[in-house]
Amino acid sequence: MQITKRNIELRVNDSLMRVYVAAPKPAGHYPGIVFYSDIYQLGSPIIRLANYLAGFGYVVAAPEIFHRLELIGTVIEPDDLGRMRGNDDARRTAIADYDADCRAVIEWLKTESAVAPDKIGTLGFCIGGHLAFRAAFQSEIKAAVCCYPTGIPSGKLGQGVADTIHRFSEIKGEMLLVFGTLDPHIPEPDRHTIITTLENANIPHKVLNYEAEHTFMRDDGYRYDPVAATSAWAEIVTFLGRIFAN
């Protein structure tokens, strides 16, 4: 399916948040997806992933997660300095601000003419995987895809300690978790904690484990695994397609 691409602006607590929107070109009503990047914001690899998902029939809205600290349009380079910068931006962002951004994108999707307002989901990578987990606390979210989500058991996300691990019972939709078993940022005990907590909260979920490293779905780095990434995308598309089929 061909897609359209544009940028919109949303104001959240008087900060201008750029949101990249990729959507199907044919007229219609499609599910909307709150799409979260990693700490490097909306660089080419993340934009390619957003575009890819949109081609399957989704209106994908990807906010700049550090808009309060970085200039509009800033892409953080995925190198040693960029990693320090992105992690520092993450540390300096209030958890309540991340949540406010989520609400703003959901509200925009609900009013967008191409979006079926009762069909909203979320997807994210790394810190964005954690943000997608928190997005699932919102009542509108029917499906959440969390790719190698960092910091959930520890509460590492922004200023202070995130309460994510204690709020799983608020999730109303279904969850798909994508992990790399060679990922040092989400070791086996953390994966076990997340899964056990979902089970105890009776949240419908599916877990995908790949013999892959962190960020293995990002196609510009040495950790990229095209076979694992292709398999994960097939699972993601099937998962979202099932939930939003009707």
**Residue among 108, 128, 11, 20 nearest 68 (CA):** 11
- Say whether 183 is catalytic: yes
- Say whether 80 is catalytic: no
- Say whether 130 is catalytic: no
Q: At 155, which helix (H) or strand (E)?
A: none
Q: Are strands 59-63 and 141-147 parallel, antiparallel or unpaired?
A: unpaired
Measured CA to CA in angstroms, residue 49 lies from 11, 20, 22, 55, 213 at distances of 25, 12, 10, 10, 18
What is the spatial distance between Cα 60 and Cα 29, in angstroms, rounded to a whole number? 13
- The 8-class DSSP code of residue 26 comes to S
The answer for residues whose C-beta is within 8 angstroms of residue 123's C-beta and 6 or more apart is 33, 34, 35, 36, 53, 132, 144, 145, 146, 147, 236
Catalytic site residue from 67, 146, 214, 225 = 214
Catalytic site residue from 126, 130, 146, 147 = 126
Catalytic site residue from 183, 190, 205, 225 = 183
Contact between 141 and 172 (Cβ < 8 Å) = yes
Residue 52, helix vs strand vs coil: helix
What is the spatial distance between Cα 17 and Cα 126, in angstroms, rounded to a whole number? 20
Annotated catalytic residues are 126, 183, 214
